[in-house]
Structure formats: C-alpha cells, structure tokens
Amino acid sequence: MSASFRLSSSLSPLQSRDLLKMRFLSPRIVVHNPVPFLMPMKTAHSRVVLPENVKVAASELAVTAGIPVGMTESGGLQVDLVTETDLKENGFRSTRRTKIVCTIGPRTCEFEEIEALAVGGMNVARVNMCHGTREWHRDVIRLVRRLNEEKGFAVAVMMDTEGSEIHMDDLNGAESAKAEDGEIWTFTVRTFDPSSCPERTVTVNYDGFAEDVKVGDELLVDGGMVRFVVTEKIGPDVICQCTDPGLLLPRANLTFWRNGSLVQERNAMLPTISSKDWLDIDFGIAEGVDFIAVSFVKSAEVIKTLKSYITARSPGSQIGVIAKIESIDSLRNLEEIIKASDGAMVARGDLGAQIPIEQVPSVQKRVVQLCRKLNKPVIVASQLLESMIEYPIPTRAEVADVSEAVRQQADALMLSSESAMGQFPEKALAVLRCVSLRIEKWRREEKHLDATDPSFVSFSTPPSISVEICNTASQMANKLKADAIFVYTKTGQTASLLSRNRPDCPIFAFTPSTSIRRCLNLQWGLIPFRLDFSDDVESNLYRTFSLLKAREMINSGDLIIVVSDVLQSIQAIKVP
Ligand SMILES: Nc1ncnc2c1ncn2[C@@H]1O[C@H](COP(=O)(O)OP(=O)(O)O)[C@@H](O)[C@H]1O
Ligand SMILES: C=C(OP(=O)(O)O)C(=O)O
Ligand SMILES: [K+]
Ligand SMILES: [Mg+2]
C-alpha cells in the first residue's frame, strides 16, 4: 500500500488551568475546580496520513496494523475493528464525516462481498424492492445482520419501496434491448408468454397507460436515456417511434411529457404506497430493517400514515422513515414532508425525469439545506459515479459532483447500480471515501462554515435546552480545536443535534442501544459506539476514557468536549 507516515506535533503540555471544567447543569452553570490528572502524558503520537490513492482500503490499514478485521468488544464498548484501526492510525480529525449508503444487488449479495463493502466504509446497506424477490432481500438483510453480530459493524439496513411508478416489465429475462433510431416499438398493457412475445414489444405495468397518453406525447425511458414519440394508439397498444436510441433495461421507469412538461393524468392518482409496497413494508418490519425509504412521496400525509402504521405494528420500534424527493409533487410540499419524516433522499434519478435536469442541482442544494435546518439526515443519491458501473476510474465530472455534495455537507452519499450490479463496487466505494476525506479537509481548512458562521447558529428551531447545549458544545469544540466531542445518548437525539452543527471534530456517540447505534450511522460526523452507561456522567466518562485508551483510540492530552443527554451537561476535559 502507498500510505505515507508523518509525525504530528503533540498537543500542548497539560496545564492545570486548561483543565477548567465547564458544566452546564440544566439550566444552571457551575464551574468546577480542576480534577487532578495523574496519568503521564504522551509527548507525540504517530499518525498515518490518509492515502489519496483510491486503491487503499481500510482493510489494508487494518492488515498493516497487524489487526484482523473483526469485532472488538471489551467492557461493554462495541466498535468494529475498521473504525478502531482508523482512529488509531489516522487520528480523530482525519476520520470521514460523510456517510455512505450502498445498494446491494446481484454483484454484492454474498457475505464476503457485503463484508468487503463494510470494510471499505459502507455505513448503510440499501435493498431496493423494485428488484428481486422478498426471499432474496431476506437473505441480504440477514447477511448484514450476521456481519454486524460477528464483526461488530453497525451497518444499518434501508429498505426502499417500489412505489407506484410506471415501468416496463423485465424484458422476459433479457439483460437489455437495443432501440435504434426511427424504429417502431409497441408499449402495451397486454402480457405475453416469453415464447410468444412479439418483437419490439414492451409490457408496461400501469393499466391506465394507454388511456393517459396521447398521440404526439414524448415517452422517456429512464428519465430520457431512450426517447420515443407516440404515433398511434390501438386499444391497449401504444405505438411509438424511437427518437433517441439507446439500451432499454429491465423494469426501466417510464414518464411521458407533453409540450415540455411531465404529464400528470390518472397516473398522478396512483397511491404512493401500493398494496405490494404495504406487503414489502410488513416484510421490512418483520425483518427489523432500520430505515424504510418511501419512493415518489407526494405529501406529508403518507409519511405520517406510515409512521403510525409502524408504531402500531411494532411498538417502540426505531424504524426511520426516509422521504424520497423524486417527484414534482414532493417539491410542492417539501417542508411539510421533511418535517414529517426521519430523513430525506435527493433521488436524482427519477427527479431528473420529472423536472428539467438543469433544475436538479438547485433542488439538491435546497433539500440538503432544509434537512439541516430541520435536523433530518439527508442522502444525495443516483449517478454519482455512473461511469464506474463499467470503468475502474470515475470521470472528473463525477468527482466534481461528489465533491459538491460533500461540500454541501450532506449526511450521506449513495451508490446505486455502481454497487448493485457494476463491475467495480469496491473501487466506487473507495472513490466516495477518498473524495469525501479530501473535500472535508479542504472545507475545514477554508473555514467556510465555522462556529461563527451565522448559518449554523441561526437555525430556526424552537429554543430548547438540548439545542442550545449542542450548539454551544459545537462552538466550544471548534474554538478550542477539540479532538472530539463525546456524547452519551439514549435516544440519539442529542447526537443528531451535534451532527447538525457539522463541527470540525468528529463526534463519538455512545448509546446503549444497538438499533440506535445503527441509525446514527447515517448521520454526518457521528462515530457510533454501543456502550452500557449509567446516569453518573463522571463514571461513564472515566470508564470510556480507560476503555478507549486501553485500545489506543484516544491519547492522554486529547481535548474532549463531553455532552450528555442524561444530565444535559457540557464539559471540556483533557484525557488524563
Ligand atoms: N435485488 C436486485 N436484483 C436484481 N437487480 C438489482 C437488484 N437491486 C438492484 N439491481 C440492479 O441495480 C440497478 C440499480 O439499482 P437501483 O438504483 O436501486 O434501481 P433503479 O435503477 O431501478 O432505480 C437496477 O437497475 C438493477 O439493474
Ligand atoms: C434513488 C432513486 O430511486 P430508485 O433507485 O428506487 O429509482 C432515484 O430515483 O434516484
Ligand atoms: K425504489
Ligand atoms: Mg427513484
């Protein structure tokens, strides 16, 4: 591997006045005397400069460090060895803040393949119910769970609903079909036996299709990858001429446009959650997924309905509902939808088929900013590294697109076909990892958004003790150049509020719940650990210090800002 090594200077020597401990006991402020520190200090520690070379995986770092990739759990502190090695070798500040969602597909559904993705930095595994059978998805979900149990990872599972989109059938099992310029194709609601399907005929899943379209409409496959114009309607058959040739892929999505805008006829009345989706949702709840992403959300109502359904079916469940922003209607009701959800996804694939593509970047920025304001995690999805489905390196333009999402400080980036069926899933993941690290560092250096930046202090949330504590803790961490923020959180809420401030240092989130640990793995800058802790902040802290120090994940002299949602307190403390 090509990692280079560099010695970084040690933190300034510990002085007793530095030990001033600030504590905000809600809402009183108490300043304590310094506690004595008896442990000797290290003068310097070595750090690995993170390789910019995309070929280097965290697993290689683990191997270099002589550590097998697996789980470590001691004294009730649970973390995977990749995170542990990363912290040890690279230091806190270099850890990646932007999270990565990988769609699992035929290319990545074996245990070893999923493990390779986890080792490469996958935080969330997504299964797309548009494709495959429930049995297939069940196997994948169980493999992820096994991986977490055996190796200590906290990979969350996101189930993505099919939704009532209009799409083609599976092309009778063919990988693709080529439509040439000028060819006449038939799109129909009739179904055929594979053996008796006429040439250049595609079945469409929506019964009202032939009634909704008009002669002269433009038919876009996959948001315009292939285009047709409707020339004739004969009963259930819609006859079209190809105007932009290309490859038709199985179950590709279809939209039709009239006079330059999306046609919304009876198709607009299709339910957001179809009867098949409800069965998939039952399946997801039964399999204990962490997130359900709802496709083609139109209003907040459907999110509220789903959330109450989940609560009724599985009381006390932590399943987060993610609204996919990919339709015109979702843009009309954006704020309401995001408020009702537990997170959002900028699903640029379908979004770009519903609004003119040149509007997608500004919508992305708007959704990312709104989610931050409303303290909801946001995922930027689709076509980030599209060329890597076939090629081992991305285009420069793709790197620029990924960089922009990282600069916007989205919580997570998502791979779709790149990881589901592409030729280079691990390389694509490595590109997201390296670009994220580099751009995050650049952004910190530029200090475009530091503690004094009004955009972070002026979030218009209703005033609350937790919000103020988290804002103050983040500002303190930035001003004091703290090495990390530690948060002890039972519900995950305090960790989210800290993440929202996008502080300069990483946030170690300790939670007693394995499911909250997984959910936190979708959020920017959080390194989730499972830890049983008591209501005694002091003893939690010293126990954590000794557990982390024993494993060299922190060092004497590291400055830590400590926040607890149990006591609603802040402390600034140097590791003894
Ligand atoms: N479970 C699966 N079974 C078969 N193919 C899959 C599966 N999941 C994903 N894929 C493939 O990966 C591609 C990208 O996945 P995704 O972005 O989730 O779907 P889509 O492109 O249909 O929106 C799909 O078009 C499909 O070819
Ligand atoms: C993520 C998206 O949804 P799906 O892959 O399910 O179409 C998208 O449309 O960008
Ligand atoms: K979907
Ligand atoms: Mg979509």
Residue with CA at minimum distance from ligand 2 atom 3? 347
Compute, in angstroms, the gap from residue 417 CA to the centroid of ligand 1.
6
421 lines ligand 2 (CB under 6 A): no
Q: Is the pTM of this model over 0.90?
A: no
Query: By C-alpha distance, which of 177, 260, 270 is closest to 220?
Result: 260
Q: Say how many C-beta atoms besides its own lie within 10 A of residue 332's C-beta.
A: 11
Compute, in angstroms, the gap from residue 105 CA to the centroid of ligand 1.
6
Listing DSSP states for 417-438 in one string gives HHHHT-S-HHHHHHHHHHHHHH
421 CB-near residues (< 8 Å, 6+ apart): 105, 106, 107, 389
Compute, in angstroms, the gap from residue 162 CA to the centroid of ligand 2.
9
- What tokens were used for 227? 């285009």
Interatomic CA distance for residues 99 and 381, integer angstroms = 12
130 lines ligand 2 (CB under 6 A): yes
Cβ pair 509, 492 in contact under 8 A: yes
Interatomic CA distance for residues 241 and 219, integer angstroms = 10
Q: For a ligand 2 pocket test, name from 126, 127, 382 the mutation site with the most ligand atoms within 8 angstroms of its C-beta.
A: 382
What pLDDT is recorded for position 124? 98
Compute CA distances 299 → 158, 306, 323, 349, whole Å.
Answer: 21, 12, 10, 19
Interatomic CA distance for residues 489 and 495, integer angstroms = 7
Q: What is the DSSP letter of 35?
A: P
116 CB-near residues (< 8 Å, 6+ apart): 59, 426
What pLDDT is recorded for position 38? 27
Is cis: bond before 27, omega within 30 of 0?
Answer: yes
> What residues flank ion ligand 4 with Cβ within 5 A?
326, 347, 349-350
**CA dihedral angle for residue 350, residue 352, residue 355, residue 360, rounded to 10 degrees:** 120
Residue with CA at minimum distance from ligand 1 atom 17? 416
Q: Could you identify the atom of ligand 2 that is nearest to the CA of residue 130?
A: 6
Residue with CA at minimum distance from ligand 2 atom 1? 347
Interatomic CA distance for residues 435 and 441, integer angstroms = 10
348 lines ligand 2 (CB under 6 A): yes
Rounded to 10°, the helix 275-287/134-151 angle is 20
Q: Could you identify the atom of ligand 2 that is nearest to the CA of residue 382?
A: 10
Phi, psi of 572, rounded to the nearest 5 degrees: -115, 125
Where does 99-164+274-446 sit in CATH, by number?
A: 3.20.20.60
What pLDDT is recorded for position 35? 30
Compute, in angstroms, the gap from residue 291 CA to the centroid of ligand 2.
15
Compute, in angstroms, the gap from residue 167 CA to the centroid of ligand 4.
11
Ligand nearest to C-alpha 252: 1
Q: Could you identify the atom of ligand 2 that is nearest to the CA of residue 162?
A: 6
Cβ pair 443, 449 in contact under 8 A: yes
- What tokens were used for 197? 């399907």
Question: Which stretches of 67-182 are assigned E, i.e. beta strand?
Answer: 71-74, 77-80, 99-103, 124-128, 156-160, 177-179
Q: For a ligand 2 pocket test, name from 129, 296, 350 the mutation site with the most ligand atoms within 8 angstroms of its C-beta.
A: 350
416 lines ligand 1 (CB under 6 A): yes
Q: For a ligand 2 pocket test, name from 326, 355, 419 the mutation site with the most ligand atoms within 8 angstroms of its C-beta.
A: 326
- What tokens were used for 298? 């139109």
Residue with CA at minimum distance from ligand 1 atom 1? 132
160 lines ligand 2 (CB under 6 A): yes
131 lines ligand 1 (CB under 6 A): yes
Compute, in angstroms, the gap from residue 326 CA to the centroid of ligand 4.
6
Compute CA distances 46 → 9, 86, 275, 413, 472, whole Å.
Answer: 9, 13, 57, 30, 31
- C-alpha torsion sign, points 57, 62, 64, 68: negative
Cβ pair 431, 417 in contact under 8 A: no
Instruction: Please state the three-class secondary structure of 7-23 as a single string.
Output: EECCCCCCCHHHHCEEE
Compute CA distances 87 → 117, 469, 520, 551, whole Å.
Answer: 19, 26, 18, 10
Query: By C-alpha distance, which of 266, 275, 252, 450 is closest to 353?
Result: 252
What pLDDT is recorded for position 460? 57
Question: Which stretches of 81-200 are assigned E, i.e. beta strand?
Answer: 99-103, 124-128, 156-160, 177-179, 184-188
The CATH fold assigned to 171-269 is: M1 Pyruvate Kinase; Domain 3 (2.40.33)
Interatomic CA distance for residues 157 and 64, integer angstroms = 30
Interatomic CA distance for residues 213 and 204, integer angstroms = 13
pLDDT digit string (tens) for the chain, length 576 residues: 333 222 222 222 223 223 223 322 222 222 222 232 222 222 222 222 223 333 333 333 333 333 333 445 556 788 888 888 888 877 777 899 999 999 999 999 999 999 999 999 999 999 999 999 999 999 999 999 999 999 999 999 999 999 988 999 988 888 899 999 999 999 999 999 888 889 999 999 998 899 999 999 999 998 888 999 999 999 999 999 999 999 999 999 999 999 988 888 887 788 999 999 999 999 999 999 999 999 999 999 999 999 999 999 999 899 999 999 999 999 999 999 999 999 999 999 999 989 999 999 999 999 999 999 999 999 999 999 999 999 999 999 999 999 999 999 999 999 999 999 999 999 999 999 999 999 999 998 886 555 555 445 456 567 788 999 999 999 999 999 999 999 999 999 999 999 999 999 999 999 999 999 999 999 999 999 999 988 888 888 999 999 999 888 899 999 999 998 877 889 999 999
Ligand nearest to C-alpha 160: 3
295 lines ligand 1 (CB under 6 A): no
Interatomic CA distance for residues 567 and 121, integer angstroms = 33
Ligand nearest to C-alpha 416: 1
Cβ pair 565, 490 in contact under 8 A: yes
Q: Could you identify the atom of ligand 2 that is nearest to the CA of residue 160?
A: 6
Q: Could you identify the atom of ligand 2 that is nearest to the CA of residue 163?
A: 6
Interatomic CA distance for residues 320 and 317, integer angstroms = 9
Q: What is the DSSP letter of 572?
A: E
Query: By C-alpha distance, which of 97, 100, 90 is closest to 440?
Result: 97
The CATH fold assigned to 4-91+450-574 is: Pyruvate Kinase; Chain: A, domain 1 (3.40.1380)
Radius of gyration of the chain (CA): 25
Listing DSSP states for 165-222 in one string gives --BB--GGG-S-EEE-TT-EEEEES----GGGPPTTEEEBS-TTHHHH--TT-EEEET
**CA dihedral angle for residue 513, residue 324, residue 408, residue 524, rounded to 10 degrees:** 10
Q: Could you identify the atom of ligand 2 that is nearest to the CA of residue 346?
A: 10
Domain with CATH 3.20.20.60 in the chain: 99-164+274-446
The SS3 call for residue 226 is strand
- What tokens were used for 396? 């420069």
Domain with CATH 2.40.33.10 in the chain: 171-269
Cβ pair 419, 102 in contact under 8 A: yes
Interatomic CA distance for residues 191 and 440, integer angstroms = 51
